């Protein structure tokens, strides 16, 4: 496994684009033509050989295209960019399915200085919130997320996470629908990212994550592109290209069988294909936004008490989940 550090330089030119699992046509406007769902299906064959061969050919293609991209010095790190224009973000990252960290886009957010634990307690008060509870009792807490839905007044939730660090209690995106009203009082402390996002799609205010140091999100990929806006605390990401899906032991839905890329005692003999992937090591700081492209794999570890907001309401198409193949 090749572990690479966090990039601190500005953009380097000449990076061949990574390969998305299902590339889309993208325009320079807010609306673009969608690729038909049938475009990726193998051609029919009376013998069935095309259906059997197609997955192997896709794995072969993804492996070799990603290997070519890996030859570029610019592919060694995930870039950090300041003053990125809408057009640059679209052409250099969104359309190419390539991650980047945006610096300075949240500099006018009052939340960056206001959102201490004490402020959050006072602002949200005793409003009931839903969170993921009892996660440490279940190794598959992400797959079984519905079993961990727990409710309590927000103050009690804060008591719980401030008395001990760890992964047991965490407000996550899975709880967003139930928490929308309770957490709406915080919207006034953020500034809409109109350069990249639209209010005309669901959840324009984003989805909140609140938890102590030590919370973990297991290795997985998402079915949408995501902005991960870090407001409080630091988070460490291990990131793997979407094209390496065939080497990540994707056993069910969007999850990997690999328990943790950070585990020093991981049984490497059980997962030999991990030696063929590049793992990007990225830590995002308060005020930074990580753009996570569609289907890029990532696992997350909170270094500190952390508040994060994720957004999916981009100006450009972001509904690939609609034709995601069932397990």
**Residue 323 confidence (pLDDT) above 70:** yes
- Domain CATH number, residue 101: 2.60.120.650
Identify whether 25 is part of a domain: no
Identify whether 258 is part of a domain: yes
Identify whether 37 is part of a domain: no
Chain position carrying tokens 């797959």:
143
What are the residues whose beta carbons fall under 8 Å from the beta carbon of 258, sequence distance 6 or more? 219, 248, 249, 266, 271, 274
* 294: containing domain: 2-11+48-323
Q: Nearest CA to 256 among 222, 230, 287, 285?
A: 222
What are the residues whose beta carbons fall under 8 Å from the beta carbon of 70, sequence distance 6 or more? 278
Average pLDDT over residues 169-174: 92
Percent of the chain's residues with pLDDT above 70: 82
Distance CA 122, CA 180 (A): 17
Identify whether 165 is part of a domain: yes
Identify whether 170 is part of a domain: yes
Bridge partners (DSSP) of residue 235 are 284, 302
Q: Provide DSSP, 184-222.
A: GGGGGGS---TTTB-TTSS-TT-EEEEE-TT-EEEEE--
**Residue 8 confidence (pLDDT) above 50:** no
Q: pLDDT, tens digit, for every residue of 19-63? A: 433 333 333 333 333 433 434 444 444 555 666 788 888 888 988
Identify whether 38 is part of a domain: no
Q: Nearest CA to 128 among 147, 159, 156?
A: 156
Q: pLDDT, tens digit, for every residue of 219-255? A: 999 999 999 999 999 999 999 999 999 999 998 899 9
Identify whether 40 is part of a domain: no
Angle at 18 between CA 36 and CA 59, to 5 degrees: 70
Identify whether 143 is part of a domain: yes
Distance CA 266, CA 256 (A): 14
What is the average pLDDT score of the chain?
85
Task: For residue 260, give the DSSP letter.
Answer: -
The pLDDT confidence band at residue 164, using thresholds 50, 70 and 90, is confident
Q: Is 234 within 8 Å of 273 (Cβ atoms)?
A: no
| pLDDT (0 to 100) of residue 14 | 45
Chain position carrying tokens 């069910």:
252
The pLDDT confidence band at residue 214, using thresholds 50, 70 and 90, is very high
| pLDDT (0 to 100) of residue 160 | 94
Q: What's the number of domains the chain is made of?
A: 1
Q: pLDDT, tens digit, for every residue of 281-311? A: 999 999 999 999 999 999 999 999 999 999 9
Distances (CA, A) of 185 to 21, 108, 182: 38, 18, 7
DSSP H/E element including 120 = helix 117-124
| pLDDT (0 to 100) of residue 210 | 98
Average pLDDT over residues 85-110: 97
């Amino acid at each position: 496994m090749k572990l690479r550090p966090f990039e601190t330089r500005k953009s380097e030119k000449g990076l061949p684009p990574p390969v998305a699992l299902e590339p889309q046509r993208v325009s320079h406007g807010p609306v673009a033509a969608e690729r038909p769902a049938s475009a990726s299906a193998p051609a029919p064959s009376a013998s069935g050989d095309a259906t059997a061969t197609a997955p192997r050919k896709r794995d072969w293609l993804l492996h070799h295209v990603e290997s070519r991209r890996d030859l570029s010095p610019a592919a060694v790190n995930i870039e950090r960019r300041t003053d990125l224009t809408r057009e640059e973000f679209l052409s250099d990252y969104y359309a190419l399915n390539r991650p980047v960290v945006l610096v300075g886009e949240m500099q006018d957010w009052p939340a960056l200085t206001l959102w201490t634990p004490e402020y959050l307690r006072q602002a949200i008060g005793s409003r009931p919130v839903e969170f993921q509870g009892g996660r440490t009792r279940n190794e598959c807490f992400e797959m079984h997320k519905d079993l961990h839905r727990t409710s309590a007044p927000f103050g009690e939730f804060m008591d719980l996470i401030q008395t001990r660090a760890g992964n047991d209690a965490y407000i996550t995106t899975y709880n967003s629908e139930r928490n929308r009203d309770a957490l709406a009082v915080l919207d006034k402390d953020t500034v809409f990212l109109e350069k990249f996002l639209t209010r005309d799609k669901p959840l324009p205010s984003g989805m909140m994550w609140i938890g102590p140091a030590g919370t973990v999100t297991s290795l997985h990929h998402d079915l949408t592109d995501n902005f991960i806006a870090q407001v409080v605390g630091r988070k460490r990401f291990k990131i793997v290209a979407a094209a390496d899906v065939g080497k990540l032991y994707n056993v069910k839905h969007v999850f990997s069988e690999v328990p943790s890329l950070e585990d020093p005692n991981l049984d490497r003999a059980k997962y030999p294909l991990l030696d063929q992937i590049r793992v990007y090591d990225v830590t995002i700081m308060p005020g930074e936004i990580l753009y996570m492209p569609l289907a890029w794999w990532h696992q997350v570890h909170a270094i500190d008490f952390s508040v994060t907001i994720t957004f999916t309401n981009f100006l450009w198409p972001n509904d690939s989940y609609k034709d995601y193949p069932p397990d």
